Amino acid sequence: MSAPAILIFDSGLGGLTVFREIAAARAAANFVYVADDAGFPYGHIAEPELVSRVLRVMDVLIARHAPDLVVIACNTASTLVLPQLRTRFAVPFVGTVPAIKPACAASRSKLISVLGTEATVQREYTRKLIADFAGACAVTLVGSARLATFAEAELHGEPAPDAEIAAEIDACFVDEGARRTDTVVLACTHYPLLIPRLRRLAPWPVAFIDPAAAIARRVVELIGPAPAGAPMGTARLSFTSGRLPIPALAAALAGFGLEPIVVDTPALPA
Ligand code: DGL
């Protein structure tokens, strides 16, 4: 049996944090990672436009790559477009949505924050996760306009100043005297790219929840474990803009196991 083809999709490079976990859990697969950088950042796109953009891009990518499974490694897209994707395409989709349930279960102070794009924290879907799963936990929603862009800059070798990152995460840290935030859900796949800086800039230590490992487990459940002795697969990356990575980014991509990189241009309709 041939290795399964897995398409991993995000607005940019944040989905690499999901890709690396999937590749570690299921190396015997052929991966295509597509960053819709021509549409980045998704957090700034209105809901109706984002739905039609993701469907249009996915039309092209599914026809081109014929994946056995698609991972939408983007909270901003998953919290909005998953139902339409599942209706339109027969291929299974795995989404990435804010890990509110495990965060609330793990929190001892019962004060958690959800850090995502401004769009994700406003979504109906996110509000419903809180209503259904927060229980006794108080949840602070923090929408960041710039953190995903800072994560992209970090991978391009142009890190944002500490003060600018600190300003984006500041509202996550709630101190009520008797109790304070002990858990922060990273509800944007870009943010784990900044994790050492988030830890360093946090005013006190908290658990940052990254759902990537759980997503990888779900992928393995769906496609099954690799047969014994199966060879390593391939890992290709492309940008919808058709650009080539600059050297600093190419070096960072190598660290994610995306070598050799074959950059193909999906030639998306305008
Ligand atoms: N990586 C995307 C997410 O998980 C968002 C970044 C963007 O605004 O495009 O939400």
Q: Name the residue ranges covered by the structural domains of the chain.
A: 5-96+213-256, 100-210
Quote the DSSP letter at residue 124: H
* Fold held by 100-210: Rossmann fold (3.40.50)
pLDDT beyond 50 at 207: yes
Helix (H, G, I), strand (E, B) or coil at 46: coil
Question: Which of 159 and 269 is assigned the larger pLDDT?
Answer: 159
Distance CA 97, CA 83 (A): 13
Angle at 180 between CA 176 and CA 181, to 5 degrees: 130
- What pLDDT was estimated at residue 268? 57
- DSSP code string of 63-102: HHH--SEEEE--HHHHHHHHHHHHHH-SS-EE-----HHH
Taking the mean position of all CA atoms in its chain, how far away is CA 13?
8
Indicate whether residue 149 lines ligand 1 (CB < 6 A).
no
**Closest ligand 1 atom, CA of 120?**
10
* Catalytic positions: 74, 188
Residues 100/113, Cβ–Cβ less than 8 Å: no
Of the listed ranges 59-73, 143-157, 232-246, the one predicted with least confidence: 232-246
Indicate whether residue 79 lines ligand 1 (CB < 6 A).
no
Cα 90 to averaged position of ligand 1 atoms, centre (Å): 25
Percent with pLDDT over 70 in the chain: 95
pLDDT beyond 50 at 260: no
**Closest ligand 1 atom, CA of 40?**
9
Taking the mean position of all CA atoms in its chain, how far away is CA 230?
28
pLDDT average, residue stretch 203-216: 98
Cα 188 to averaged position of ligand 1 atoms, centre (Å): 5
Indicate whether residue 10 lines ligand 1 (CB < 6 A).
yes
Q: How far is CA 151 from CA 15, 87, 214, 218, in A?
A: 11, 32, 22, 25
* The two domains 5-96+213-256 and 100-210 share their CATH topology (first three levels equal): yes
Q: Among 194, 172, 176, which Cα is nearest to 185's?
A: 172
Of the listed ranges 20-34, 214-228, 231-245, the one predicted with least confidence: 231-245
Indicate whether residue 39 lines ligand 1 (CB < 6 A).
no
Contacts of 174 (CB under 8 A, 6+ apart): 111, 113, 140, 180, 181
What CATH number has the domain spanning 5-96+213-256? 3.40.50.1860
Q: What is the pLDDT of residues 92-102, one digit of tens each?
A: 999 999 999 99
Cα 122 to averaged position of ligand 1 atoms, centre (Å): 13
* Mutation probe of ligand 1 site: the residue of 9, 18, 42, 96 with most atoms within 8 A of C-beta: 42
* pTM exceeds 0.85: yes
Indicate whether residue 144 lines ligand 1 (CB < 6 A).
no
Indicate whether residue 76 lines ligand 1 (CB < 6 A).
yes
